[in-house]
Structure 1
Amino acid sequence: MSQQPNLSAFIWSVADLLRGDFKAHEYGRVILPFTVLRRLDCVLEPTRAAVLAVSKEHAKDGEAVIDAFARRVSGQNFYNLSPLDLKAILGDQDHLGSNLLGYVNKFSREVRDIFQRFDFANTLDRLYKANLLYLLVEKFTSIDLHPDAVSNYEMGLIFEELLRKFSEMSNETAGEHFTPREVIRLMVELLFIEDHEALSASHAVRSLYDPTAGTGGMLSVAQEYLHSLNPEARLTLFGQELNDESYAICKADMLVKGQDVGNIVPGNTLSDDGLPGKRFDYLLSNPPFGVEWKKVEREVRQEHERLGYSGRFGPGLPRVSDGSLLFLLHLLSKMRKPEEGGSRMGIVLNGSPLFTGGAGSGESEIRRYLLENDLVEAIVALPTDMFFNTGIATYVWILSNRKAEARQGLVQLIDASGLGSKMRKSLGSKRKELTPEQIRTIVQAFGSFLALEQAVVLDANGKELERVILFPEVTMPNAPEGGKVKRLPFSKILRNADFGFRVLTIERPTRDEQGNIVLGERGKQKGKPIPDSSLRDTETIPLHADWREYFEKEVKPHVPDAWVNEDKRDPKDGKVGIVGYEIPFNRHFYVYEPPRPLEEIDRDLEQCFANIRQMMEELGI
């Protein structure tokens, strides 16, 4: 049975000790590094004596030699050369602070960096002055956080729950640091489903990258899932994270998992790519929703203008108020070239990147690049209320530069917004979760690559009783007494070009006071009608429609004096009209429901009026 809830509550109880001496938003700066310290202390305990022995044996051989032998003996990518551990430190109250700091400084370089990110030395000083240091060390020394007692998966959940609570206390955006585990699991399964055979091969080796790594949840779940497919497979994990505390936790987690923590780098991914030139087999990300990128605007614009398509942001720049598409472009730059095996990626975005921005805007040009280069495999609409910090609609995009032949030139849209189960207890804004069965359903729909419907069973009062995805082998459910079954689309297969359109500029002539058309008198405009800018309009037509036929059929009959401004041409294809792309997800899944018959509405209204009259009579009005 999982110990995670009890351990979370126990660690959280440490806050009771801090109350009064620390502000609520500072609890995380104390509890998180002590949790990491106790975890590492427990991991190294079985090999502590052997590491000390080998360090003494090679004391004269230099730091590099000691480092190599200590790692080998510890069985980890880290070690500690102190003769003390937390229990021994607790036994010497007179030197508790100095011994504890000395113990931390005897860790290998990667671990020391973690505690520097937590500003641990300053925290110890404050705890000592508040007479809390002994009580805190005693608390943490009493719990067992060895991987045999608390698995890596459970430890990840503990870190995430604590971080969420601390983020709420400090009014930070918790969702910037981590993603719900079932959403990650869905993304990972969608990412790996087409490669099961290759990943099942003996000693398969793959790389995975998350540019917004948070506490490392996506990296951890991907590693666990691949290991469940093939225990011999090896997934090398890479990531970058801006928030120091999240970075420290992610790095600690990767250390315990045996990963090379040099692959986890700090910093802002958009302004300072910490892994330049690196390309990966798989890529995952949940960038912050709707967060502006003004702080890094200068660096991003410089790269866009100076490097163009040789850099990361060649296709275009979105508006400064939302940088999520910049992370998508960054991920594209990290894909392996198709001739080198290609890559697949999954990214969580809100609804804005689907349709924000008109023809020629940065957002539209980015969508154009994705679709004209056939990079989008599928987009899955998730239920609302899935994330800790927001209840808005979210979408998982799956992209690849090595599409299967059957998917080439096509995009699959899956509307899973009607799935999701209500949680017994909300966690922030998170009120729903995807069950393992629902995840399997979505993955099956993606894997089948079929247009599918779903049957929604409603009772007599219109309450949903059941939702069944109508795969070819599934039987249509029966309607309950007085109820009905609604058929709605669940999966649609569309051509890339279906998302494109062309915007024509429609001009009308300027007229004088007598209503006569005013003609130009010189230059190119001589003898031609002068357009009236106040009457200028636009028409949106399907991408591959003939604009002349459309104009003659749809515009000319209604506005006989209008004409198309043929000077307004797309800068890329040179044709009349500006090209745009949008993905109107909801429009593709909209099902028209005719209104109820007027007679039925009249009967309901009459019944309401009768009820009101009866209530008034009873009240003597």
Structure 2
Amino acid sequence: MVVLRRLDALLEPGKDKVMEELAFQRDEAGFTEWDEAGLRDASGYVFYNTSEWTLQRLYDTATNNQQILQGNVEDYLKGFSANVKEIIEKFKLARQIRHMASKDVLLDVLEKFTSPNINLTPFDKDDPEGRKMPALTNLGMGYVFEELIRKFNEENNEEAGEHFTPREVIDLMTHIIFEPVKDRLPPVMTIYDPACGSGGMLTESQNFVKDQNGGIQTKGDVYLYGKEINDETYAICKSDMMIKGNDPENIRVGSTLSTDEFAGTRFDFMLSNPPYGKSWSTEVKYIKDGKDIIDPRFVVRLKDYWGNEEEAPATPRSSDGQLLFLMEMVNKMKPVSQTPLGSRIASVHNGSSLFTGDAGGGESNIRRYIIENDMLEAIIQLPNNLFYNTGITTYIWVLSNNKEKRRKGKVQLIDASDCFGKLRKNLGNKNCELRPEHIRAIQKACNDFTEVRKEEDGGLAVKIFDNSDFGYYKVPVERPRRLKAQFTHEAVSGLRFDKTLKEPMEWAFETYGKRIYTELPKLEKEILDWCEKNEFDLDAKKRKTLCSSRHWEKQRALMHHAQTLQNAIGNDEHKDFNKFQNQVEKVLKAQKITLTASEKNAIYGAITSYDESAEKVIKKQQKLKGDKLENLLEHLGCTAEQLPDFGYYPGEKKDEYITYESESDLRDSENVPLKESVYDYFLREVKPHADEAWIDLEKIKIGYEISFNKYFYRHNPLRSIEEVSVDMLELEQESEGLIMDILGVVN
């Protein structure tokens, strides 16, 4: 109703002209279809209404008959142009009108919204007593929507991530994005928000560059683009675009992640507060096909440890899609070859975007791609409790693909968590605000590009880092497998059962004995009923395997083969698995038994265990000399003496090198800063504690993370024991005196 009244109040002054144009087209020109251009010219806006009604006229002529009033209101809604009808549809307004009429409140609602004492238009006006009523801006509309949701229907806004951006945060973002390039603004500017909500960031950006809020004052044309998935906020945004004379067709409804609505379009400036902590699982099918990324927006090219470039996924966990919106904006940046300014981005995120995701994972790849391509200018930590429906810490990411010279290869981190003023009254979770002096201080810190200690500048701290300071190598550290082997009755008998179905198979064999091999189809229902009763969550494949006679026979045959080996080799313990393995192979050959690799591994898995006193298990023995050795040394970047540190150990024969199986339970990894040598770090931090360890360079991954706590943490030393003791004695005396007073004892 607020949106409807805004549109209605704007059309009221031109209502007679619209009706005259309508009569002209119908009676004199004889049009069978309306000339929309003429009607838009008559209304003065890109929308119009061809019914005889306005909301004021509906109220003035209404009777107590709610049905007649409902019919008139419905005629009024049908008279709007198609672009407004879409807004009405998104709000489901026709249904709400019928509901209000059925409850006999429609007339009362009209009375409130047509009151001369409220101003829902984007222009200043006077009340009946001549007092000025300020305009309701687009940002004001956002506040209205947020407050209505919070106060009257809070459940609708509890989905994670939907946080309306306060005006002062938008103000800070516009200053940061536009101020540094105010003298180089292009004559035609495009501004985009992929999660535009009610359009506050778009219209405030336009106001800022057009000097409507004391901003830059450019004569260039500004075109606004946005996309919003929520129907109601989309309707608010689109209505305001129509009111302000912006092209409403540039605002689209739907999921930004599912559909690349503006594919091929590039924008000069982008500002956004995407949803964070919100699942994008419903969009996965549009972005990924299995493990393959099918949307080019979310694939990046990165180099591995050896410098080979390859495609890498830029998709975070499906439980949080905020970084996908950042990649959408990165994808829409104008190349410097197209415009000298390039593109600038400001995006609000929570803390998880800074550090979640392991090296090689989607989140880390996104951070890596942005930082290694020198797009990240700064990240600003905002105060807690700045938003209306969340108290979490938030950060503004500032990106540019055309940094000024002093910023190239650098990232500026600003801790503004203590820059705020307290509100007199909380607004939901919001209990503080950024005041103009705070915005100026943060903007100045951005522009100055110098480090600042928090103690020196009233709650503001600034640090500057090289891009590579945030990167690290995740280096796998392996240790050799040492196995002892021994055939035992228990281990061999256990091979009758598939280890993935061990418990239900054991129960079935204990219950039915040899019948399991002859009558399994008859027993299937009882076995599956037992599994269900005992809460075994078996999928269709496992249920089929459990009730497969062939699978039972296969496991029994494996047990019999192990018994044959046991009879030939005996029950002694073997601490050299390499020799034991040779014995097994000789027996299998002599007995003419053929086993697959997986069957052998199943037997070995049953009869072996790790023993640190056992011999190391050999994986491969190979000759390395001449060009082959030189190529390996060049590839690893080491000398022949250093080969053991990379998993290649000298054998007994000349030029022979041995690689060992690695023990997964002893596998570890080290995060080595990009600026440091992986090998030097290994020698210093790992080798003294695990002499047999080696590093697997083939599996090294590169990751990036940003930790504000690490960079801005300030240690507060504990008080001395003497100070604490004095306080304790004073408290003890005070409490003793209070007890005496209560008991009425006089000292």
Query: Fold match, TM over 0.5?
Result: yes
CA drift at 1:517: 3.8
- The worse-fitting range, judged by mean Cα deviation, of 298-307 and 490-499 is 298-307
1:594 and 1:514 map into 2 onto residues whose CA distance is 44
| Structure 2 partner of 1:334 | 332
Please say if 1:114 is aligned against 2:87: yes
| Structure 2 partner of 1:21 | none
* Matched residue SS, 2:417: coil
- The worse-fitting range, judged by mean Cα deviation, of 225-234 and 247-256 is 225-234
**Given the alignment, which residue of 102, 108, 111 partners 1:138?**
111
Asked if the contact 2:177/2:345 (under 8 Å) is kept, the reply is: yes
CA drift at 1:99: 2.0
| Structure 2 partner of 1:195 | 181
1:331 and 1:514 map into 2 onto residues whose CA distance is 53
The residue type paired with residue 725 of structure 2 is D
* Structure 1 residues 103 and 303: alpha-carbon distance in aligned structure 2, compared to 1, 3 A threshold: farther
The residue type paired with residue 178 of structure 1 is F
1:164 and 1:562 map into 2 onto residues whose CA distance is 60
| Structure 2 partner of 1:11 | none
2:370 and 2:297 map into 1 onto residues whose CA distance is 16
Provide Cα deviations, 1:249-282, integer angstroms capped at 9, x if missing partner: 1111111111110111111111123333222111
| Structure 1 partner of 2:191 | 208
Asked if the contact 2:359/2:474 (under 8 Å) is kept, the reply is: yes
Structure 2 counterparts to residues 208-227 of structure 1, below 5 A: 208-227=191-210
Provide Cα deviations, 1:158-215, integer angstroms capped at 9, x if missing partner: 452344332452412277262111111111111111121134x8xx321111111111
**Given the alignment, which residue of 46, 51, 54 partners 1:77?**
46
CA drift at 1:522: 4.7
| Structure 2 partner of 1:87 | 56
* Matched residue SS, 2:156: coil
| Structure 2 partner of 1:67 | 36
1:272 and 1:527 map into 2 onto residues whose CA distance is 53
CA drift at 1:554: 2.0
Under a length normalisation based on structure 2, what TM-score does the superposition of the two structures give?
0.69
CA drift at 1:46: 1.6
2:355 and 2:96 map into 1 onto residues whose CA distance is 47
Structure 2 counterparts to residues 12-51 of structure 1, below 5 A: 34-51=1-18
Structure 2 counterparts to residues 366-381 of structure 1, below 5 A: 366-381=366-381
The residue type paired with residue 148 of structure 1 is D
* Matched residue SS, 2:676: coil
2:164 and 2:715 map into 1 onto residues whose CA distance is 38
- The worse-fitting range, judged by mean Cα deviation, of 443-452 and 82-91 is 82-91
- The worse-fitting range, judged by mean Cα deviation, of 605-614 and 543-552 is 605-614
| Structure 1 partner of 2:124 | 148
| Structure 2 partner of 1:256 | 243
The residue type paired with residue 107 of structure 1 is F
* Structure 1 residues 70 and 609: alpha-carbon distance in aligned structure 2, compared to 1, 3 A threshold: same
CA drift at 1:492: 0.9
2:612 and 2:442 map into 1 onto residues whose CA distance is 65
* Matched residue SS, 1:358: coil
The residue type paired with residue 173 of structure 1 is N
2:163 and 2:393 map into 1 onto residues whose CA distance is 19
Please say if 1:171 is aligned against 2:130: no
| Percent identity of equivalent pairs | 38
1:306 and 1:352 map into 2 onto residues whose CA distance is 23
- The worse-fitting range, judged by mean Cα deviation, of 155-164 and 248-257 is 155-164
* Matched residue SS, 1:254: helix
Asked if the contact 1:344/1:399 (under 8 Å) is kept, the reply is: yes
| Structure 1 partner of 2:363 | 363
Asked if the contact 1:375/1:401 (under 8 Å) is kept, the reply is: yes
Structure 2 counterparts to residues 281-360 of structure 1, below 5 A: 281-302=268-289, 305-307=292-294, 310-314=296-300, 315-341=313-339, 342-360=342-360
**Given the alignment, which residue of 549, 574, 589 partners 2:680?**
549
CA drift at 1:44: 1.3
Provide Cα deviations, 1:280-323, integer angstroms capped at 9, x if missing partner: 11111111120111111111214983546x43444421111111
Asked if the contact 1:177/1:215 (under 8 Å) is kept, the reply is: no
Unpaired runs of at least 5, structure 2: 126-132, 301-312, 483-574, 576-610, 623-647, 649-656
Provide Cα deviations, 1:342-399, integer angstroms capped at 9, x if missing partner: 2111110000010011111111111111111111111000000011111011000011
* Structure 1 residues 141 and 564: alpha-carbon distance in aligned structure 2, compared to 1, 3 A threshold: same
CA drift at 1:544: 2.9
* Matched residue SS, 2:454: strand
* Structure 1 residues 114 and 304: alpha-carbon distance in aligned structure 2, compared to 1, 3 A threshold: farther
* Structure 1 residues 258 and 358: alpha-carbon distance in aligned structure 2, compared to 1, 3 A threshold: same
**Given the alignment, which residue of 692, 696, 713 partners 1:565?**
696
2:617 and 2:262 map into 1 onto residues whose CA distance is 61
| Structure 1 partner of 2:228 | 241
- The worse-fitting range, judged by mean Cα deviation, of 103-112 and 595-604 is 595-604
Provide Cα deviations, 1:133-152, integer angstroms capped at 9, x if missing partner: 22222222223434232655
Under a length normalisation based on structure 1, what TM-score does the superposition of the two structures give?
0.83
Asked if the contact 1:374/1:496 (under 8 Å) is kept, the reply is: yes
Asked if the contact 2:385/2:392 (under 8 Å) is kept, the reply is: yes
* Structure 1 residues 140 and 221: alpha-carbon distance in aligned structure 2, compared to 1, 3 A threshold: same
2:276 and 2:374 map into 1 onto residues whose CA distance is 25
Please say if 1:160 is aligned against 2:143: yes
> Aligned-pair RMSD on alpha carbons?
2.5
Please say if 1:536 is aligned against 2:667: yes
The residue type paired with residue 334 of structure 1 is K
* Structure 1 residues 153 and 89: alpha-carbon distance in aligned structure 2, compared to 1, 3 A threshold: closer
| Structure 2 partner of 1:586 | 709
2:53 and 2:184 map into 1 onto residues whose CA distance is 46
- The worse-fitting range, judged by mean Cα deviation, of 323-332 and 144-153 is 144-153
Please say if 1:518 is aligned against 2:616: yes
1:63 and 1:410 map into 2 onto residues whose CA distance is 65
* Structure 1 residues 493 and 155: alpha-carbon distance in aligned structure 2, compared to 1, 3 A threshold: closer
2:287 and 2:658 map into 1 onto residues whose CA distance is 47
| Structure 2 partner of 1:482 | none
CA drift at 1:590: 1.4
Please say if 1:185 is aligned against 2:175: no
* Matched residue SS, 1:567: helix
| Structure 2 partner of 1:597 | 720
CA drift at 1:423: 0.9
2:148 and 2:299 map into 1 onto residues whose CA distance is 35
2:718 and 2:294 map into 1 onto residues whose CA distance is 55
Asked if the contact 1:304/1:312 (under 8 Å) is kept, the reply is: no
* Structure 1 residues 231 and 373: alpha-carbon distance in aligned structure 2, compared to 1, 3 A threshold: closer
Structure 2 counterparts to residues 483-494 of structure 1, below 5 A: 490-494=461-465
1:515 and 1:492 map into 2 onto residues whose CA distance is 51
| Structure 2 partner of 1:269 | 256
1:219 and 1:303 map into 2 onto residues whose CA distance is 36
Structure 2 counterparts to residues 384-403 of structure 1, below 5 A: 384-403=384-403
- The worse-fitting range, judged by mean Cα deviation, of 121-130 and 360-369 is 121-130
The residue type paired with residue 278 of structure 1 is T
The residue type paired with residue 387 of structure 1 is F
* Matched residue SS, 1:171: helix
Asked if the contact 1:177/1:214 (under 8 Å) is kept, the reply is: no
- The worse-fitting range, judged by mean Cα deviation, of 370-379 and 292-301 is 292-301
CA drift at 1:231: 6.0
1:404 and 1:497 map into 2 onto residues whose CA distance is 18
- The worse-fitting range, judged by mean Cα deviation, of 188-197 and 79-88 is 79-88
Provide Cα deviations, 1:485-530, integer angstroms capped at 9, x if missing partner: xxxx711111110000011111223345582542416556984443
The residue type paired with residue 57 of structure 1 is F
The number of residues matched between the two structures is: 547
* Matched residue SS, 1:87: helix
Asked if the contact 1:178/1:217 (under 8 Å) is kept, the reply is: no
| Structure 1 partner of 2:415 | 415
Asked if the contact 1:303/1:311 (under 8 Å) is kept, the reply is: no
2:258 and 2:662 map into 1 onto residues whose CA distance is 45
The residue type paired with residue 55 of structure 2 is L
